[in-house]
Amino acid sequence: MEVKPKPVQRKPLEWFNLKGKRVGFWAYVVMRLSAVGLVLYLFLHLVILSQLAVGPAAWDNFVALAKSPAVLLLDVVLIIGILAHGLNGIRLTLIGFGLGVPRQKLMLWIGLILTLVFGVLSALAIFAETK
Amino acid sequence: MSQKYHVIVIGAGSTGTATAHDLALRGLQLTVIERGEIASGTTGRNHCLLHSGGRYAVTDHEGAVECIDENLTLRQIMRDGLELNDGLFVAVDESDLAFKDTFLEGCASCGIPARDIPVKRALEIEPYLNPKILGAVQVPDGVFDPYRFCLSFLATAKKNGATVLPYHEVVGLLMSGQAVSGVKVLDHRTGKQYEIGADLVVNATGPWAGKIAAFANVDVPVLPTAGVMVSISKRLNQMVVNRLNKPHDGDIVVPQRMTSIIGTTSWKVDDMDAIHIPQEHVDKMIEFGEKMIPALRDNPIRGVMAVARPLIGKKSADEREVSRTFAGFDHAHDGVENFVTISGGKTTTARGMAEKISDIVCAKLGVSAPCRTREVVLESYRSYYNN
Amino acid sequence: MKLNLKIYRYKPGSEPHYDTFPVDVPETANVLDAIERAWDDLDRTIMFRHACHHASCGSCGLLVNDQEKLPCVTPVKDYGEGATLKIDPMRNMPVITDLAVDASPIYQRMALIGLPIIRDAETLRADGKEPLPEGLEAFRRFENCLECGLCLSACPVMATDPQFLGPLTLAAAERLLAEPRGVDIERIYRLVDDEHGVWRCHSSFECTEACPYEVYPGEAIMRLKRKVGLRKIKQFFGGA
Amino acid sequence: MVEKQLTRERTSSWSWILQAFTGALLLVLLGLHMVVQHFVVEGGLRDYQQVVEYLSNPFVFLLEVMFLIIVTWHALLGVRAILFDLGLQPATERKVTAILSIVGVITIAYGIWLSATIVAQGA
């Protein structure tokens, strides 16, 4: 009697399903989310730069907008995203070339700490300048 | 009735799968029915010892001869499922040492290549052995993986046209007059029952053989006995280590992958499915095992397993006395046609058992094809899953 | 020790659900013993894969509280008296019924890479120089990998990419490159140097976390990436 | 056969190595970009005149164009990796690669055009 098993449902949302997962998986989720965020930012950034081609007034309007606290806060998020992605990227490159594999978890924590430290420092710097 | 086969084999343990392989090679259309996963019964919870026959060389000549014969055959046909590191029989006390000559004679008379080796040498090979051992004999024991053992036979049977129905439980035998004409199965995937027809049904359900035979109102003298095995979280020996004496509780330590497994005890059970492991049996395993390999006590227990095993013969009081040699029953003698039972035996001798029962099956079905399982090299166990 | 097993139930054609079974097992029991208890005492229709009960066959892998476990060597003690254990079939494999998955994705992968199951044993003595008994060329043993598939279940890439070779396969490739045993090395390189081979791995190390038998595929894949990557770079610059 | 895709043809791939390589370059280029464009500037952003003057330096122009190329490459290769994780058919994968390559070329061309325009406006 032909009875078909329940097929595997391939769901991209599983990339972010944290149930039962451990720290390495969290790093992978952060990597993936920051990647998507940074790609969107990159294209947004390039589009905004087109204001430079429009002329001085257009650009200086944008500069004024960019100095509003809300945008500055987004800048902090951006910097944290870059730090997390970049530092974990260093880790992935190193272990991918077989370097420091037994210490990959330690590297992960170091990356996290550096992200937080530099994230806070840059937040302080950004908001200090506006005062 | 959904389909009719020449033969239905009930049970996908070592005997059932080897029988399926034998019959498929002889060109019969057959299906194997198993109520759970392949090897999830007696065969799975196996000591994994590929017997050289040494264990029975003194007490059971016939069994020992079967073992060494099948051992040497399996080495030829099962290319990817055996750890072949030989075995040692070690003398722990004077009585063991006194047994040595009897043992060597027994091995010689059974055709088991056995070599008396100096204690110093044995300790060099196996540094975890009790340094106080008094003697050691090397025999061609080995280790198999019971699940892959069965998969290899099934993979080859499938290649030769057999089908396999796991998660199907036989809930009745179909009778036409005084002859079995098929089985009624419960498909555990759907919860539905249906019938499968066959010219002949082979009951290869080990300790459960009596349960299946009862569907045809015949009695099978199978005595379900349980034995405890204790798996230790470290591999402490490369070769199988046996106590150099008559078979006894806790007298063998079988290495496999990264574990050493101590075995075994023996007690009679009434319900083959409800086996509760007595803690004192576990303690006994460690107590006896450490006489041969003291470090067994220092490493944590990884798992304890027990399962019903089929012993054939007189329903006597002392279970270990009963021969472990298998028995095949043609139930025509009980007045039921087209129904045979094969039970007892050891995984090591599964191929030989399959040969004997397949000869009976073929004679009954008028098939003249000879057995070829001695020569045909088995498929890789992995190809069982080449759907 | 009293436990509740909340077991995933699925029969083709009907909706999956959970049934909860109260069981009482010895303190020394493993999770598989508890499942067998529920099967034996309460419901003979629970289907689950098992054979050897000592982490050798690799057939019983499943999820306990959403984590990949080999229940035959997972002590119930880890979960404590009165705990409720949620038991699910492995991920990323077709479910035949209840906890029983179709293991083809595991075995077909291993068949593809062709890792022989027999390897040379690390002999017990540290110096490895003790003489072998007559008649034996080397001490042999089974490979560590049980082909249980827990790593395939845990891998986030496997969740969406059935073409991915998978953790156990890549770990097997790494073993083969280290100890070829007559297998065609170039074929192994061709298999793993592919978008859906070694490069698809995103290093979440969930496979390593799941591995019950010290194969640690995550680390093996990193070694493999290094081997394959450096070889490619060397060849690109004209090296052999 | 449960997973036919397993036996698909396997072809040598450089994408991970390139991703690691461009990632490593980005650490330097993005660092420079952030420092010169934002950190050393009063208020974090250059006004129009400052941008024009700055970009007119050929060395800076080259640096920014290189940054543009590498960052676009890394970003689109990353997008490609995520899409490939979906287990696409080989034909679809080739389309993805082709489309992303076109997007990449357009992005880079746009960036260079923009930089050149700005420099021209200042001249």
Question: Using one digit for the tens of pLDDT, what is the confidence trace for D14-57?
Answer: 999 999 999 999 999 999 988 888 777 777 788 888 888 888 99
Q: How confident is the model over B274-306, as pLDDT tens digits?
A: 888 999 999 999 999 999 999 999 999 999 999
**Site from D8, D10, D82 to mutate, C interface, most C CB atoms within 10 angstroms:** D10
Average pLDDT over residues B205-213: 95
Token pair listed for A97: 């070339």
Average pLDDT over residues B59-64: 91
Q: Which amino acid is at B4?
A: K
A89 domain-assigned: yes
Chains that touch D (3 or more CB pairs under 8 A): A, B, C
pLDDT of residue D3: 56
pLDDT of B55 higher than 50? yes
Token pair listed for D5: 């895709």
pLDDT of residue B256: 94
Q: How confident is the model over C193-236, as pLDDT tens digits?
A: 999 999 999 999 999 999 999 999 999 999 999 999 999 999 99
What's the rounded Cα separation, in Å, for the pair B62 and B56?
9
A42 domain-assigned: yes
Spell out which residues of chain A touch residue C99, defining contact as CB-CB under 8 Å.
none
Contacts of C75 (CB under 8 A, 6+ apart): C28, C29, C30, C31
Q: How confident is the model over A1-19, as pLDDT tens digits?
A: 578 899 998 889 989 999 9
Three-state secondary structure call for residue C144? coil
Query: Any idea which residue has 């072998």 for tokens?
Result: C132
User: Confidence band (pLDDT; 50, 70, 90) for B2?
Assistant: low
User: Confidence band (pLDDT; 50, 70, 90) for B316?
Assistant: very low
Closest CA to B50 of B30, B74, B29, B18: B74
pLDDT of B3 higher than 80? no
Mean pLDDT of chain A: 92
pLDDT of B323 higher than 60? no
Could you tell me the CATH number of the domain that includes residue A123?
A: 1.20.1300
Burial class (CB in 10 A: 0-12, 13-18, 19+), B132: exposed
pLDDT of residue B81: 84
> Does residue B382 belong to the interface with chain D, where contact is any CB pair within 8 Å?
no
pLDDT of B336 higher than 60? yes
Under 8 Å between Cβ of A80 and A119: yes
pLDDT of A43 higher than 90? yes
Average pLDDT over residues B45-60: 94
More confident residue, D123 or B273: B273
More confident residue, B243 or A131: B243
pLDDT of B318 higher than 60? no
Pick out chain C residues at pLDDT < 50: none
> Does residue A42 belong to the interface with chain D, where contact is any CB pair within 8 Å?
yes
pLDDT of D1 higher than 50? no
Q: What is residue C153's DSSP assignment? A: H
pLDDT of B317 higher than 50? no
A3 domain-assigned: no
pLDDT of residue B319: 47
Mean pLDDT of chain B: 93
pLDDT of residue C126: 56
Q: How far is B202 from chain A (nearest CA, A)?
A: 21
Q: How far is C103 from chain D (nearest CA, A)?
A: 10
Return the number of CB contacts < 8 Å for A and D.
72
* Domains of chain C, each with CATH number or no CATH: 2-101 (3.10.20.30), 104-236 (1.10.1060.10)
pLDDT of A84 higher than 60? yes
Cβ count within 10 A of residue A116: 13
Average pLDDT over residues B343-368: 95
Q: C162–D13: do the CB atoms touch at under 8 Å?
A: no
Q: What is residue C123's DSSP assignment? A: P
CB nearest to C52's CB, from B45, B273, B387: B45
ipTM of the complex: 0.93
* Domains of chain B, each with CATH number or no CATH: 4-43+147-221+324-385 (3.50.50.60), 49-144+223-312 (3.30.9.10)
What's the rounded Cα separation, in Å, for the pair B184 and B200?
14
**Site from B189, B195, B385 to mutate, A interface, most A CB atoms within 10 angstroms:** B189
Three-state secondary structure call for residue C15? coil
pLDDT of B322 higher than 60? no
pLDDT of residue D123: 66
Q: What is residue B282's DSSP assignment? A: H
pLDDT of residue B222: 87
Q: A101–C156: do the CB atoms touch at under 8 Å?
A: no
For residue A61, what are the domain limits?
23-130
> Among the residues of B26-93, which ranges form H helices?
61-77
Q: Provide the CATH number for the domain formed by D17-122 in this structure.
A: 1.20.1300
Average pLDDT over residues D55-73: 94
pLDDT of residue B376: 98
Out of B130-144, B308-322, C209-223, D81-95, pick the least confident: B308-322
Quote the number of domains for chain A.
1
Backbone angles phi and psi of B276, in degrees to 5: -105, 125
Q: How confident is the model over C145-170, as pLDDT tens digits?
A: 999 999 999 999 999 999 999 999 99
Q: B194–A1: do the CB atoms touch at under 8 Å?
A: yes
Q: How confident is the model over B180-190, as pLDDT tens digits?
A: 999 999 999 99
Contacts of B292 (CB under 8 A, 6+ apart): B90, B92, B129, B130, B133, B241, B243, B253
Contacts of C170 (CB under 8 A, 6+ apart): C192, C197, C198, C201, C217, C220, C221, C224
Give domain limits for chain D. 17-122
Q: How confident is the model over B67-117, as pLDDT tens digits?
A: 999 999 999 999 888 999 999 999 999 999 999 999 999 999 999 999 999
What's the rounded Cα separation, in Å, for the pair B181 and B7?
10
